[in-house]
Amino acid sequence: MTAFWEQSWFWPAIVVIIGLPVTLLVLTELQSSLQRRGNELSKIVGLLRNAVVPLIAILILSVQVTDAVDPEQLTTNRIIATVLGFLVIVFVLNGLNILLFTNARKGSWREKIPSIFVDIGRIVLIALGLALVFRLVWDADVGGVFTALGVGSLVIGLALQSAVGPVIAGLFLLFEQPFRLGDWLDVGGTRGRVIEVNWRSVHIETGDGILITPNSSLAGASFTNLSRTGGAFTVSTEVAFTTDDAPAAVVGLLQRVASSLPQVIPGTTPSAVPKGGPAYEVSFEVRGPSQEGAALATFRMWLWYAARRAGLGLDGDTTDDFVTDERRDAALATISPTLYLTGDDALALAPVVRLERYAAGEVISTVGTVPDAVRFVLAGSVELRVPFEDAELPASRVEAGDYLGQTALTREAMLTTAIARNEVAVLVVPATALDQIVRSTPALARDMGDVIDRRRHEVAAAVTAHVESQRAPARLDR
């Protein structure tokens, strides 16, 4: 009598009884480790642990206890093996997808492969895997099937040559990848952003709707990828003034407004040229076509306010209902206590002051410049920023009732840049007029000196707070 450990089922059973728990324990720990690190491979390890390994154990046991002469039992084993083959195919496909594409570095060849080719490769692997499963498990003649599919594909390809040709051209376009999702294209004079690319067409958002362009049309025509212009994109627009406005004044105004836009690339110089009559064209460079819309919107809004301050007739309109004698006199009455003015003094000052308005985001004064006037804030809020290294730090705010440009009397450069937080209205008092008031009012000189000292302390505090915040992470690391 043969000992039980010499039976054919003994060692496979031992492998399942001991190996299965150990393998599941190892895979559980590996999956937990990958989940803690946020690795996508944890899902593949979970599939291996929860489905593939247990099914292998079931198949081993089923084969050992099955009577080889029982056709029903053989069919059961083949069904289990087929399910296992399906799971192995899923395991291999998902593993390859994560290893090759999900974790691909930006700019690598794996990241550049179009999704349509990945899908085709996945279909081929599935077909080969299924053929291998049916050949090994069911002894199916897959060679004849593939031969029939090859001949059928050839016949279908010849019959649909005219229809398949554009699709193939589109696939080659995708493989070449002259554009990506998010790129801006100029297709036949229509500009837009690519929002979807599939095997048949490209969807371009133009602002007036979605332009759906077949891949074959793009492959057989010329188009411009506006997002691959070396980091700079030129924005141009036309504006009109009155013919009475001096061209030099208009050109200077357009260049100043354009150069102050936050979207303009630093170091570039906007250009403005007369086009004849009241028309002018202004051009400036931004970082990509995606900033064109925001840059033009900001430019047009700031230009309206700047033209009114300069007394130029944008779009032929020279009127400004904001600048009136009544509003000027009311503003003088508001600031009179600050300047220690009497009624007669305010009347004498009226001819030399002026009202101005600024749009949200506009620069009222820049750091390093010597102001020629003091601006009293009548409405709105102004933020003072101090440049430090490569950033601008918020130092303080100037609200209605306060003023900026206080160093106009001392002829000192500004330590901060003043930017309107919202629409700001100011009363501009020239430094020459303030000099005369200060000579007869020592209290005003003392007040302005206090404001200058306060602003200096605010600048120093902002810089100190920023430096301390940068040092704090370094101390924590140690």
Query: Residue 378 has which token pair?
Result: 């009548």
**pLDDT of 312 strictly over 60:** yes
pLDDT number for residue 2: 54
pLDDT number for residue 17: 78
More confident residue, 189 or 294: 294
**pLDDT of 147 strictly over 50:** yes
Cα dihedral sign, 358-363-367-371: negative
Q: In angstroms, rounded to a whole number, what is the distance separating the alpha carbons of residues 173 and 241?
A: 47
Whether 173 maps to a domain, the answer reads no
Domain span at 152: 4-158
Lowest mean pLDDT among 55-59, 63-67, 210-214, 400-404: 63-67
pLDDT number for residue 183: 81
**pLDDT of 293 strictly over 80:** yes
Whole-number percent of the chain with pLDDT over 90: 32
Average pLDDT over residues 147-165: 53
**pLDDT of 145 strictly over 80:** no
pLDDT category at 231 given cuts 50, 70, 90 is low
Greatest mean pLDDT among 65-79, 92-106, 126-140 lies in: 126-140
Q: What is the pTM of this model?
A: 0.62
8 Å CB contact between 232 and 211: no
Query: Residue 278 has which token pair?
Result: 């009241």
Q: Are residues 106 and 220 in the same domain?
A: no
Q: Are residues 30 and 53 in the same domain?
A: yes
**CATH code, domain carrying 395:** 2.60.120.10
Q: Are residues 249 and 200 in the same domain?
A: no
Q: Which residue, of 168, 200, 225, is where some domain finishes?
A: 225
More confident residue, 469 or 252: 252
Please list the residues that pair with 210 across neighbouring strands.
205
**pLDDT of 392 strictly over 90:** no
Average pLDDT over residues 322-340: 91
Strands 391-399 and 279-286: unpaired
Whether 88 maps to a domain, the answer reads yes
More confident residue, 353 or 215: 353
pLDDT number for residue 380: 95
118-128 per-position pLDDT tens digit: 766 777 788 88
Q: Are residues 125 and 57 in the same domain?
A: yes
Average pLDDT over residues 321-338: 91
Q: Are residues 46 and 130 in the same domain?
A: yes
**CATH code, domain carrying 253:** 3.30.70.1130
Q: In angstroms, rounded to a whole number, what is the distance separating the alpha carbons of residues 436 and 51?
A: 91
pLDDT number for residue 146: 60
Q: Are residues 77 and 23 in the same domain?
A: yes
Q: In angstroms, rounded to a whole number, what is the distance separating the alpha carbons of residues 319 and 93?
A: 71
pLDDT category at 71 given cuts 50, 70, 90 is low
Lowest mean pLDDT among 18-27, 275-284, 319-328: 18-27
436-447 per-position pLDDT tens digit: 888 888 888 899
Would you give the end-to-end CA distance of the chain in angstroms? 73
Number of domains in the chain: 4
Whether 316 maps to a domain, the answer reads no
**pLDDT of 281 strictly over 60:** yes
**pLDDT of 110 strictly over 60:** no
Whether 120 maps to a domain, the answer reads yes
pLDDT number for residue 377: 95
pLDDT number for residue 167: 64
Residue 460 CA: distances (Å) to CA of 92, 242, 395, 437: 62, 47, 8, 30
Residue 219 CA: distances (Å) to CA of 169, 174, 187, 347: 6, 9, 12, 74
Query: Letter for the amino acid at 459?
Result: V
Whether 172 maps to a domain, the answer reads no
